[in-house]
Chain A
Amino acid sequence: MNAIISAPGQQQGQPPGASGDTLPLLEVHQLSHLHAPGKGCENVSFELYPGEVMGVVGESGSGKTTLLHTLAGNLPPQSGYIHYRDRQGDVLNLQSLSEGEQMRLLRTDWGFIHQNPRDGLRLRASAGANIGERLMAQGERHFGRLREAGRKWLDAVEIPLSRIDDQPRTFSGGMQQRLQIARNLVSEPRLLFMDEPTGGLDVSVQARLLDLLRRLVVSLDLSVIIVTHDLAVARLLADRLMVMKEGQVVESGLTDQILDDPQHPYTQLLVSSVLTP
């Protein structure tokens, strides 16, 4: 099967995202991956536009993370399809890409921020090497340029440059998370998947990380799919929300609309359960 579905210049659609681009970056249709009936994600469909940030919220076990891993190619979809529009404007069908092409896409055009930075970092390699790894995988063979990229991205995520040769296992949780972001952004991806990026961080560190993320998303014109159970994080970062329950999307729409005027009983429960100090 040919991986390229269509060439540029077809397709219609409304742009709800921040950018003025009219063609969706990601088109997901009836995507399912079930570990057991009701466990996983089932028949999820949506479109993501360039520069748009979409939040996926729901309680633990609602299938948020499974959806994210299925989208990012870490889990095979059991049904449905994912179409991705690459830099040339060609639409690629993810399932029909070879393993190698999928891997290259995941390491260049896409990024994945794990909830636990230990899953996304090489803890025994230095911070500089962690940042340079994607570039080396893409064939960068100049030490000076790798070093320069390392410094630039450490600076961008507010890690002191003096820590460039330190191993991330000596970093604090917040620094590890920021390093993980730098390591992903170094290849200038267009689409970022985030799984609870602020989970396990205390609130002041969370606030700085969220601030940083918001700044990077706007300045780099990133499209983001962010999974979180924290509605405050969702409100701060996401343009649009999907609410999941037992593997199904029960409600979706603009973030403000969903959080201020929830329609589905489960969303109403979710919104009313938030503690306010």
Chain B
Amino acid sequence: MTDRPGQDEAYNFAYLDEQTKRMIRRAILKGIAIPGCQIPFGGREMPLPYGWGTGGIQVTASILGPDDCLKVIDQGADDTTNAVSIRRFFERTAGIRSTLITEEADVIQTRHRIPETPLKAGQTLVYQVPIPEPLRFIEPSETATRRMHALEDYGVMHLKLYEDIARYGHVSTAYAYPVMVNQRYVMDPSPIPKFDNPKLHMSPALQLFGAGREKRLYALPPYTRVESLDFEDFPFEVQKWDEQCALCGATDSFLDEVITDDEGSRLFVCSDTDYCQKRQKRLTQSSSEVRKEELAS
């Protein structure tokens, strides 16, 4: 049935049947045509529970080609359960190559991070989205939120920001920070830290968002304007750390705090494992070169 060496022949290529993939591709095309607009699609049962990336996995399955190379990250890491399972899933059902290296990947499925390494044209980033509707917290009715999107009735989005500033003196929303896409649709960028929001803007890569439970997807075509909502006198700001990565010394990446014992010791490490390991490799290389030079002289 197939000549792909790694693929389990019991499955159609990339698990979903061809009709389903076509249906999802049509929804993706519509999403790309209307950046930031949520498009409904006929979500299928997937062999993992809702909340584990059923939306992302269906989008990935629909766009994967036999020659594509796949990378999967979970909060920036390639080696967590979720990331490993999804990568293995596609290795088995599609027989495709996979990678841990951002630059080598054609398709990157991500849970709640954008890689630190800048993406290139031709790459596609697929996000897993729990709640696609940015207006949901203020308006529980789907009919009402659709009307609000249609009429660009977005005043309530600033209500939340106003409340944050009034209460804490700054905007306390640190992840899933709402953005305005192409000056038209307010979009939930999925729970990525707001640190990653500037990377959405004018990205050369195609960005697709899939929500499996809600059966919605949306898209940011390459080079789309994406602005984080803010006030003139309280402009959008990203997180900053006083520390640097304890492993690679990076000062420009998103850091996770790791508790190392029960006496309050802690260290900060990059959440993007690929970025961190590349930097560590470069550090050991350059230090060994220095040592060689020292030996030579």
Which A residues contact B (CB, under 8 angstroms)?
99-100, 103, 122, 125-126, 128-129, 132-134, 136-138, 141-144, 146-147, 164-165
Query: Could you tell me if B163 and A125 are in contact, using CB atoms closer than 8 angstroms?
Result: yes
Let me know if A103 and B162 touch, CB within 8 A.
no
A99-B151, A137-B153, A143-B231 are contacts. A128–B159 as well, Cβ < 8 Å?
no
Residues from chain A with Cβ under 8 Å of B156 in the complex: 133, 136-137
Interface 1/0 per residue, B147-161 and A, CB below 8 Å? 100111111101100
Q: How many cross-chain pairs have Cβ atoms below 8 Å apart between A and B?
A: 54
Most buried by B among A103, A129, A134: A129
Interface of B is mostly: helix
Counting chain B residues whose Cβ lies within 8 A of the other chain, the interface size class is 20 to 34
- A167 (CB) vs chain B CBs: closest residue: B163
A-B contact pairs, 19 of them (CB 8 A): A100-B151, A100-B152, A122-B159, A125-B159, A126-B163, A128-B166, A129-B162, A129-B166, A132-B159, A134-B155, A136-B156, A137-B153, A137-B154, A137-B156, A141-B232, A142-B232, A142-B233, A143-B165, A143-B232
Q: How far is the CA of A183 from the CA of B159 in the complex (A)?
A: 13
B134-158 to A contact mask, C-beta < 8 Å, 1/0 = 0000000000000100111111101
- Give the dominant DSSP class at A's interface: helix
Residues of B within 8 A of A (CB): 147, 150-156, 158-159, 162-163, 165-167, 230-234
Return the contact of B233 from the options A99, A134, A136, A144 (Cβ within 8 A). A144
- Provide the residues of chain A in CB contact with B147, threshold 8 Å: 99
Contact A165 B167 (CB under 8 A): yes
Whether A133 pairs with B159 at a CB distance below 8 angstroms is: yes
> What separation, in Å, do the CA atoms of A159 and B41 have in the docked complex?
49
Q: Which residue of A lies closest to B231 (CB)?
A: A143
Report B-chain residues with C-beta under 8 Å of the C-beta of A100. Answer: 150-152
By a CB distance below 8 angstroms, the chain B residues around A132 are 159, 162
Q: Are B159 and A103 in contact (CB under 8 A)?
A: no
Give the CA-CA distance A133 to B150 in the complex, in Å: 19
A167 to chain B, nearest CB (A): 10
- Nearest CB of chain A from residue B13's CB, rounded to whole Å: 45
Question: Hey, which chain A residues are within 8 Å of B155, CB to CB?
Answer: 133-134, 136-138
Partner of A103, one of B151, B163, B230, B233: B151
The answer to whether A103 and B158 have CB atoms under 8 Å apart is no
Known: A129-B162, A133-B156, A137-B154. 5 other contacts (CB 8 A): A126-B163, A129-B159, A132-B162, A143-B165, A146-B162
Provide the bound-state CA to CA distance between A74 and B152, in Å: 19
Query: Contact: A103 with B153, CB < 8 Å?
Result: yes
